[in-house]
């Protein structure tokens, strides 16, 4: 990792970055190659000829299928791997949130591991003594901080590690699926801290399978496929291409299970003991449209109403979202209570559990006839953290009076 001599506004510059692994059929073939008798290896390129630049304050999303080379790229940028070819130039402090807690010593206490771990990310002892109280407070491990880390749960370890690596705002922050650390309460704190970094000018590389968070956080997206750049550009354009690729893969998959197409689903599920929030039920009304003439005598399909319930262990109202997609096709629309400036209605709670309900109505649903699928999501009140999701939960057939081709009827008039 070299210092950058280019424009000070450019904080990360990647040129022709590649990583090759040598594969051997057996240990003896490896030994023969090491002894110089002959090269019996084959090459696997985990990453090949990746180039991009990031300016100060820019947020780049990194997406792709499993095995596409995303984690390899992030490890090369963080200098935990060395490239086979290419260069990485950076300007300023870089912090990577990759394998949280991997460097902690199990026999050391949490406090001792902070001092040890701080030295690994470039913080000296004086810095750590100054930051320790703040780190412990953020991790919420006050009572456990002087116990050996081997007595911690996995969630406690990642909470301490995240608090440590984000204690000082870096110039470049690399994140690999770190929004899933700890419980739902701590996830929200993590997202809020990352958002604060972004708003204060930190450059971020965010690798995730959550297209929702990529859209929320990133202005530019890099799509990797088989170790190569498949697309690099603005978020909407690249995600549209990637989602078309995902739909093509989905088209080759098996049809939904019987449970996924069961309709309606009005069975309310209790909140699991290890969850602080979860979806409880989803019920669809008016699925068979009634044809009623409007003021101009035209026949229109009826409204589509959807009632969604969720359970939480706190009095803070969550956000409920619904997505309609063409079955094995493109997305039609997605709406949420937080984006529309409303909140779910609180129903009577029992046993310390609050139940929330929202009914969403699409008036005169403008879909043409076809098969569609509903997905349901539960967010925190600000829409930062995905607390629960029922993906592709209900598949339904919709009949429209229109005989014209297309997907939706758009408002229009002739003149």
Measured CA to CA in angstroms, residue 5 lies from 2, 11, 13, 326, 350 at distances of 9, 10, 10, 50, 62
- Does residue 413 form part of some domain? no
Same domain membership, residue 165 and residue 283: no
Same domain membership, residue 368 and residue 278: yes
Same domain membership, residue 336 and residue 202: no
Rounded-to-integer distance, Cα 337 and Cα 320, Å: 6
Split into its structural domains, the chain has a count of: 2
Name the burial class of residue 275, with classes exposed (0-12), middle (13-18) and buried (19+) by CB atoms within 10 angstroms of its CB: middle
Query: Where does the pLDDT of residue 162 fall: very low under 50, low under 70, confident under 90, or very high at 90 and above?
Result: confident
Same domain membership, residue 277 and residue 151: no
pLDDT for res 32: 75
Q: What confidence tens digit (pLDDT) does each residue in 86-137 have?
A: 999 988 888 887 777 667 888 999 999 888 888 877 788 888 889 999 999 9
Backbone conformation region of residue 101, classed left if phi is above 0, alpha if psi is from -120 to 50, else beta: left
Residue 335 has pLDDT above 80, yes or no: yes
Same domain membership, residue 231 and residue 138: yes
Helix (H) or strand (E) holding 304, with range, is: strand 304-312
Average pLDDT of every residue of the chain: 82
Which is nearest to 128 in space by CA: 112, 146, 108?
A: 112
Bridge partners of residue 385, in order along the sequence: none
Same domain membership, residue 35 and residue 78: yes
Mean pLDDT calculated for residue range 132-152 = 92
Residue 338 has pLDDT above 80, yes or no: yes
pLDDT for res 258: 31
- Within its chain, how far is the Cα of 41 from the centroid? 37
pLDDT for res 88: 93
Bridge partners of residue 284, in order along the sequence: 306
Q: Residue 138: which residues within 8 A CB-CB, separation 6 or more?
A: 163, 167, 189, 193
Contact between residue 327 and residue 381 where contact means Cβ atoms under 8 Å apart: no
Same domain membership, residue 331 and residue 233: no
Lowest mean pLDDT, pick from 107-111, 231-235, 329-333: 329-333
Q: What percent of the chain has pLDDT over 90?
A: 32
**What is the DSSP secondary structure assignment for residue 281, as one 8-state letter?**
E
pLDDT for res 404: 72
Query: Where does the pLDDT of residue 250 fall: very low under 50, low under 70, confident under 90, or very high at 90 and above?
Result: low
pLDDT for res 409: 82
Same domain membership, residue 311 and residue 234: no
Bridge partners of residue 13, in order along the sequence: 53, 89
Q: What confidence tens digit (pLDDT) does each residue in 11-68 have?
A: 999 999 999 988 877 787 777 777 777 776 778 899 999 999 999 989 999 999 988 9
Torsion over CA: 279, 330, 372, 404 (sign): positive
Q: What confidence tens digit (pLDDT) does each residue in 367-384 have?
A: 888 888 899 999 988 888
- Does residue 296 form part of some domain? yes
- Does residue 254 form part of some domain? no
- Does residue 6 form part of some domain? yes
pLDDT for res 255: 42
Residue 293 has pLDDT above 50, yes or no: no
- Does residue 403 form part of some domain? no
Task: Note the pTM of the prediction, 2 decimals.
Answer: 0.75
CATH number, domain of 48, equals: 3.40.50.300
Same domain membership, residue 234 and residue 137: yes
pLDDT for res 182: 57
For the sheet with 331-336, list strands across it.
331-336, 319-326, 370-379, 386-398
Lowest mean pLDDT, pick from 253-267, 326-340, 382-396: 253-267
pLDDT for res 269: 60
- Does residue 405 form part of some domain? no
- Does residue 336 form part of some domain? yes
Q: For the packed helices 154-165 and 110-120, what is the interaxial angle rounded to 10 degrees?
A: 40
Lowest mean pLDDT, pick from 25-39, 250-264, 330-344, 362-376: 250-264
Same domain membership, residue 62 and residue 199: yes
Which is nearest to 68 in space by CA: 242, 219, 215, 247?
A: 242
pLDDT for res 80: 85
Secondary-structure breakdown of the chain: helix, strand, coil percentages, each rounded to the nearest 5: 25, 35, 40
- Within its chain, how far is the Cα of 133 from the centroid? 30
Q: What confidence tens digit (pLDDT) does each residue in 57-97 have?
A: 899 999 999 889 998 999 999 888 999 999 999 888 888 87
Return the higher-pLDDT residue of 396 and 141.
141
**What is the DSSP secondary structure assignment for residue 272, as one 8-state letter?**
P
Q: Residue 351: which residues within 8 A CB-CB, separation 6 or more?
A: none
pLDDT for res 101: 64
Contact between residue 141 and residue 159 where contact means Cβ atoms under 8 Å apart: yes
Its domain, for residue 179, covers 2-249
pLDDT for res 289: 46
pLDDT for res 251: 62
- Within its chain, how far is the Cα of 308 from the centroid? 23
CATH number, domain of 294, equals: 2.70.50.60
- 160: helix, strand or coil: helix
Biggest CA–CA distance in the chain, Å, is 88
Peptide bond before residue 264 is cis, with ω within 30 degrees of 0: yes
> What is the separation, in whole angstroms, between the first and last Cα of the chain?
64
Return the higher-pLDDT residue of 65 and 248.
65
Rounded-to-integer distance, Cα 74 and Cα 98, Å: 8
- Does residue 409 form part of some domain? no
pLDDT for res 151: 94
133: which 2 tokens? 């109280």
Contact between residue 319 and residue 381 where contact means Cβ atoms under 8 Å apart: yes
Same domain membership, residue 274 and residue 197: no
Measured CA to CA in angstroms, residue 76 lies from 18, 174, 247, 317 at distances of 9, 11, 30, 41
Same domain membership, residue 236 and residue 273: no
């Amino acid at each position: 990792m070299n210092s950058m001599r280019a424009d000070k506004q450019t904080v990360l510059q990647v040129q022709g970055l590649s990583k090759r692994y040598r594969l051997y059929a057996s240990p003896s073939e490896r030994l023969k190659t090491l002894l110089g008798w002959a090269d019996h290896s084959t090459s696997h390129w985990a990453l090949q000829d990746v180039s991009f630049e990031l300016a100060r304050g820019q947020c780049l999303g990194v997406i792709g299928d499993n095995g596409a080379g995303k984690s390899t790229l992030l490890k090369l940028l963080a200098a935990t791997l060395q490239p086979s070819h290419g260069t990485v130039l950076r300007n300023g402090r870089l912090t990577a949130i990759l394998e949280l807690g991997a460097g902690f010593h199990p026999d050391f206490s949490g406090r001792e591991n902070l001092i040890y771990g701080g030295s690994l990310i470039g913080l000296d002892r004086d810095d750590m003594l100054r930051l320790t109280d703040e780190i412990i407070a953020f991790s919420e491990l006050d009572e456990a901080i002087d116990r050996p880390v081997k007595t911690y749960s996995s969630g406690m370890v990642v909470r301490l590690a995240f608090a440590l690596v984000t204690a000082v705002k870096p110039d470049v922050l690399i994140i690999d699926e770190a929004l899933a650390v700890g419980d739902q309460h701590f996830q929200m704190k993590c997202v809020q801290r990352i958002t604060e970094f972004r708003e204060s000018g930190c450059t971020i590389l965010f690798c995730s399978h959550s297209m929702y968070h990529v859209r929320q956080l990133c202005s530019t997206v890099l799509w990797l496929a088989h170790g190569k750049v498949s697309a690099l550009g603005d978020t909407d354009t690249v995600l549209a291409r990637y989602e078309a690729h995902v739909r093509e893969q989905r088209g080759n998959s098996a049809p939904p299970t019987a449970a996924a197409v069961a309709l309606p689903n009005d069975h309310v599920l209790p909140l699991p003991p290890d969850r602080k929030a979860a979806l409880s039920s989803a019920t669809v009304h008016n699925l068979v449209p009634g044809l009623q003439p409007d003021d101009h005598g035209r026949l229109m399909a009826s409204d589509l109403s959807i009632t969604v319930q969720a359970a939480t262990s706190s009095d803070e109202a969550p956000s409920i979202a619904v997505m309609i997609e063409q079955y094995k096709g493109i997305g039609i629309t997605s709406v949420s209570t937080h984006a529309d400036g409303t909140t779910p209605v609180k129903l009577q709670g029992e046993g310390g559990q609050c139940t929330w309900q929202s009914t969403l109505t699409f008036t005169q649903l403008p879909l043409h006839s076809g098969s569609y699928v509903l997905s349901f999501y539960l967010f925190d009140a600000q829409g930062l953290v995905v607390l629960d999701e029922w993906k592709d939960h209900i598949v339904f057939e919709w009949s429209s009076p229109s005989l014209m081709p297309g997907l939706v009827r758009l408002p229009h008039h002739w003149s």
